[in-house]
Structure 1
């Protein structure tokens, strides 16, 4: 793990801005062209982008006849666009029709353009500033997580350079609403039926009870959208957008804006807790480059701007050469290190210990490893794994707070996330159930987004369950249960604050935006003391409950990594249940889901969830996944080769599910391990070229791989009857037939 610095305020590298600007004699009132080594961007006198041009091919990527505002002001859902733009040195002055003036600092780096908002005056109660949306004529690949759009030749994207600049346009809770859109990845191979059209939107299926419920369309032209940082625009191509919010202001939003399940009757109101964060200082990197250089360009931005830059073995975890297979482990741990070493794998997620919930009063709970038939502390196992360079970690439930954790009883933490706050209007004794409130304050909106009917109020140090509230004065709570969740009933005075707690989908609670800072420190301490350098943040979406969207992810993860750095933890492998713009920088893998819902290695077929995740992740330069693939009794060596082959072909990660019991029952254990390790060695050696990978992706194509020495492999095509065809020789650095 490299040091995570704050924002980096750099002057233009290598060449001054004046030499790269092009304009005529009246510089302040004319079009201005900015440049990088790959592209040029023209901004007109009104502050709109009118050209995005590839310098090498001279191809124009701005849609003909259209333009995009460089910066937009937003208040109460209404946008104010710039009216005039003037350069003053390396600063750009934008005038808006409402009288506001925005001062931007502009830097032209070799790989990207850097824009930063220095000031806005008068603010006119502006809620958000919006970078874009920037229109492009690219439509093939929509990277909605990372605000990037791509075709076979070129990529155009914007990257947030500080934590309060986040993906997408302003919306409720600063989170997208998951959906399907119609978008064929290959109109020739996957033509749309007559009743569908490009860009058409559909709600996601199911009820959200499990992963599979989110994914319901096997057709390749149904594209699951995991974000709104980039959007398909059938009329002209696509658009990309970021925004930054004034979080010092209170807002009332609808929660949730995301998870658009048909079973959700209506969203709930939520009053956001303000935090001391503003949009002044918001900064972005705008890059336009050959797609083959897209990820490397992002890496340069990350390094130059002091963004989180996580490395392992001296390489960025986003580098495809760092993609690796992990182990999902169940049962006793005696053979764990041996199996991992034989397979050549360096990361283990312990699924057998069950889901870990944070509980400050009893942080380890019943989590113990089993060695030599004895229960031992986790640190006893990590003392063994760390010696072998094997990252080991727990499967956590992130910020989901159990109803009976020490943050809930006997005294509820004042920092638990709230939906609303009002006050009682009558004094009550410890056992009174007649409680009157100042206003209904949405108290009749039940439960959380999954409508779980959990309704809990906090008055002082007491938790109260209730069912609803009357709608005429005096507003009176109904179905009251005093001293809920093992808290003590107490007397309360008229005027005392009453807060409704935010509940999670498991019927528990959530830390508020400031309490989660303590959770970041808690997790860092847990990992350090357990000797762990791997964590699976299942329930990663728990950071959305506070209503601050991607900012909440960034705040928590930056805090946790800062604590780990101070503790001397050199590396942390992060996995989670979902990839968002807020956690993209920190995550190594996202091996969500499992089994044939993700990928069927017997028949080499993608499942519905696997297909949807693949399109979304790959579009934003993140590895797709096969999820957890448990070693099945019916699998033979060829199935293991299929699994490894397709993983290499698609640059997909996964977790191989193992236990001592499952492995030791197999008579072919050594053959299974040998076949797996052969592919793993070849993957590490980088012997598979892109053309070969594309061939290997085809479902019908199966292969057998043999290792001749440390630098040479022999790849055989395998016919349906199991016979081997003519081999291809693969070598480090080159390929020969």
Structure 2
């Protein structure tokens, strides 16, 4: 092992030293030299190739810190056993923590293997190690980098959490650090809520910090958790701090992923693949996919639509009758898993993989874990005992301590368990004797029973989805249930939605990691060699298991507007954490336009980001442009996956205001055409008699002379004979009546009237000579009659711009 004892006069030419008598050791972690003095303080972080020192000059860094009796302290001394490669850190009070080191080609690993002393610490903190690197901070992956060098930390087992113990519940601050102005107190969380968290790396003034930690969990703890101020976190046997382990490394930025790949393989961490390629490097990792409800009876239709869109993954958003044991809905899969497996096998022959949506450890009340006999491993927020016996008909139940029952912030089912009976209650008395009021006996198909004085009353944890949750043991079992389903059927795509539900374990992020790790470990080798996984949350160790994240939902606004800013911010997060890019879910309705789809596809190409194309048989059959939409998806996705777009083209497409069309010529060459769009709304307004009611705007024709292509939409009411005056001297009246939601689309050749679902209703002729526009600045004024003097019309101008020929 390259551990060198160094005297500071040897490095005085590189950095000022305190004295020449304080000897140090240097540890070699890939291309990173870590110098520590005899107190265990890190004094240098050298790029061994270029000599640059990346230690933050204004911060104090140690390899480890410990918490004894509620106080986090750093070592007072450190010594090295070079024969056994053991670092012994000495703390006040004759306490010693021994760390085993091992040098590898690309990194150095550290493992806590012994603690000596009269008392036992409850926290081990790796770091924080403060660096002067602040350009790119991968908060999840634990890598900070600039253009010259990268420094990283990796947790080598699930219990070593990437992050810092800001909170006793082990939930990391959820924030986008670009929105933060003050990094001094991360307990508060971020200005804007995100689904990613400050974990293994974080920004500091003029630099960054990397860190991890491990907690001893041998006693009951009362913590703020899951919306409760007083949540019981029970002991969890994982050997405590013993065995906590990390890797440290430094390398050139382009070597980060190969280094982490080597760490995964040498340390037996999860290392999933996609068709023989590590999933973090596989182009297929960012594949777009189709989400729709399908069953065995109509599966051929679903496959045909998926093939028409050129997509390789078909995902079912709601296949389960129950969560917990994951019984499939008979309406979709009449013979359960056998039906699903037949679908998977049929899809596989056509080159399509099947995915299923899960809610992680959520347990529906109709699942066998709840009814008719509740599993005693359902998560509990706390407990009390009966102060008076009850019979099967008792509606008021007296308990000793109400503290676990009178918290209603995240208490949706208001349920508790006594023995094998689940009981619901409406409220808790305000004074003693503490009484659970208006109780429903034998809830969720359990059976009312007699219970004795002093029997334990367990308050059950639940969620707004009206589901129960799991304790650590049951959490692991549920994860294995999902893995068994995948092994049996060959399903290869999953989303761990609701992963935050695993905080019901009282373990915070650790509970989420245990769930996903248990799932991964229970997979057979065939599924491990080809799966795609995402989730509702990331975490440092989970990075090794998930393929990507796909956040952004379509339910909150229009196709282009729903969470758009959030989707774009996610791309920056993905880039700095080496996560394949995804744009989230986009919903195709019967009313969705081809232009909206092309807007999405341009963004997908810009960020090399996949997406979920959410649709249904109803939408596909009613939308008049379904064939064109699916054809466009296939063309753009094929082009993106073959990386045909230049960096310049991608940069232009990143701007959501820019629109494009992609076509293919007869010789299979791609043509990328920029479309310049301008929108003008016109609505009825009451004015003086004779005063015209119009709206106008100026716009640019950036191309050659061309016909004015446009879409007119009756946004509200009935539009009658709309008019457009172009450049103040050409007026065209369009002889048409558009009912609410209908469109008139002129593409330079045809003027066609469409229903709200884009079904062709009729075509009309227009005087094309009026619609010719020259290059440069133009003006347009629009007006219309509205039935009953009420309505709104939207004009969208679409002009051809630059065309890029791509061989």
Same fold (TM over 0.5): yes
Superposed displacement of residue 452, structure 1: 3.7
Superposed displacement of residue 77, structure 1: 3.9
Number of the residue aligned with 1:175: 171
Tell me the alpha carbon deviations over residues 661-693 of structure 1, each in whole angstroms, 9 at most, x when there is no partner.
Answer: 433455555544443333323333334455553
Number of the residue aligned with 2:139: 144
When structure 1 is superposed on structure 2, of 236-245 and 711-720 the one drifting more is 711-720
Superposed displacement of residue 660, structure 1: 3.9
Q: For 1:607-646, list aligned pairs within 5 A.
A: 607-632=564-589, 639-646=596-603
Number of the residue aligned with 1:157: 152
Superposed displacement of residue 543, structure 1: 1.1
Whole-angstrom distance in 2 between the partners of 1:707 and 1:154: 42
Number of the residue aligned with 1:409: 371
Q: What secondary structure sits across from 1:389 in the alignment?
A: coil
Instruction: Report the TM-score when normalising by structure 2.
Output: 0.75
Q: 1:363 aligns with which of 311, 327, 337?
A: 327
Tell me the alpha carbon deviations over residues 490-516 of structure 1, each in whole angstroms, 9 at most, x when there is no partner.
Answer: 223333322221222223211211012
Q: 1:116 aligns with which of 87, 111, 122?
A: 111
Contact map agreement 1:81 1:97 (CA 8 A) in 2: no
In the alignment, structure 1 residue 656 sits paired with structure 2 residue 613: yes
Number of the residue aligned with 1:289: 251
Q: 1:81 aligns with which of 65, 74, 81?
A: 74
Whole-angstrom distance in 2 between the partners of 1:308 and 1:586: 6
Superposed displacement of residue 45, structure 1: 1.8
Number of the residue aligned with 2:209: 239
Q: What secondary structure sits across from 2:367 in the alignment?
A: coil
Superposed displacement of residue 710, structure 1: 11
Contact map agreement 1:401 1:510 (CA 8 A) in 2: yes
Change (3 A) 1:299 1:596: farther
Change (3 A) 1:27 1:664: farther
When structure 1 is superposed on structure 2, of 464-473 and 295-304 the one drifting more is 464-473
Contact map agreement 2:482 2:519 (CA 8 A) in 1: yes
Contact map agreement 1:302 1:308 (CA 8 A) in 2: yes
Contact map agreement 2:2 2:28 (CA 8 A) in 1: no
Number of the residue aligned with 1:254: 224
Q: What secondary structure sits across from 1:627 in the alignment?
A: strand
Q: What secondary structure sits across from 1:274 in the alignment?
A: coil
In the alignment, structure 1 residue 106 sits paired with structure 2 residue 91: no
Superposed displacement of residue 392, structure 1: 0.8
Superposed displacement of residue 325, structure 1: 0.9
Whole-angstrom distance in 2 between the partners of 1:287 and 1:711: 46
Superposed displacement of residue 230, structure 1: 4.5
Q: For 1:206-221, list aligned pairs within 5 A.
A: none
Tell me the alpha carbon deviations over residues 466-504 of structure 1, each in whole angstroms, 9 at most, x when there is no partner.
Answer: 355568765544444433333222223333322221222
Q: What secondary structure sits across from 1:278 in the alignment?
A: coil
Whole-angstrom distance in 2 between the partners of 1:280 and 1:711: 61
Number of the residue aligned with 1:314: 276
In the alignment, structure 1 residue 46 sits paired with structure 2 residue 39: yes
Superposed displacement of residue 129, structure 1: 0.7
In the alignment, structure 1 residue 326 sits paired with structure 2 residue 284: no
Largest Rg, 1 or 2: 2
Whole-angstrom distance in 2 between the partners of 1:121 and 1:160: 23
When structure 1 is superposed on structure 2, of 73-82 and 538-547 the one drifting more is 73-82
Superposed displacement of residue 57, structure 1: 4.1
In the alignment, structure 1 residue 350 sits paired with structure 2 residue 316: yes
Contact map agreement 1:409 1:487 (CA 8 A) in 2: yes
Number of the residue aligned with 1:5: none
Q: What secondary structure sits across from 1:521 in the alignment?
A: helix
If each structure's strand is expressed as a fraction of its own residues, which one has the higher value?
2
Q: 1:130 aligns with which of 97, 122, 125?
A: 125
Contact map agreement 1:224 1:612 (CA 8 A) in 2: no
Q: Give the gaps of 5 or more residues in structure 2.
A: 11-18, 678-797
Q: What secondary structure sits across from 1:335 in the alignment?
A: helix
Whole-angstrom distance in 1 between the partners of 2:399 and 2:21: 59
Superposed displacement of residue 28, structure 1: 12
Contact map agreement 1:181 1:202 (CA 8 A) in 2: no
Change (3 A) 1:556 1:74: same
Tell me the alpha carbon deviations over residues 322-360 of structure 1, each in whole angstroms, 9 at most, x when there is no partner.
Answer: 321111124543322223334332212112x46663254
Change (3 A) 1:267 1:653: farther
Change (3 A) 1:223 1:335: same
Number of the residue aligned with 2:24: 31
Q: What secondary structure sits across from 1:571 in the alignment?
A: coil
Whole-angstrom distance in 2 between the partners of 1:308 and 1:550: 18
Contact map agreement 1:144 1:620 (CA 8 A) in 2: yes
Superposed displacement of residue 708, structure 1: 7.0
Superposed displacement of residue 548, structure 1: 0.9
Whole-angstrom distance in 1 between the partners of 2:474 and 2:334: 34
In the alignment, structure 1 residue 500 sits paired with structure 2 residue 459: yes
Question: Paired residues, what number?
Answer: 671
Contact map agreement 2:30 2:250 (CA 8 A) in 1: no
Instruction: Report the TM-score when normalising by structure 1.
Output: 0.81
Tell me the alpha carbon deviations over residues 7-58 of structure 1, each in whole angstroms, 9 at most, x when there is no partner.
Answer: xxxxxxxxx334x665579999722222244322222221122222333443
Q: Give the gaps of 5 or more residues in structure 1.
A: 1-15, 185-195, 206-216, 257-263, 731-737
Whole-angstrom distance in 2 between the partners of 1:466 and 1:133: 47
Superposed displacement of residue 167, structure 1: 1.9
Contact map agreement 1:199 1:233 (CA 8 A) in 2: no
Say which structure, 1 or 2, has more relative contact order (CA 8 Å, 6+ apart): 1
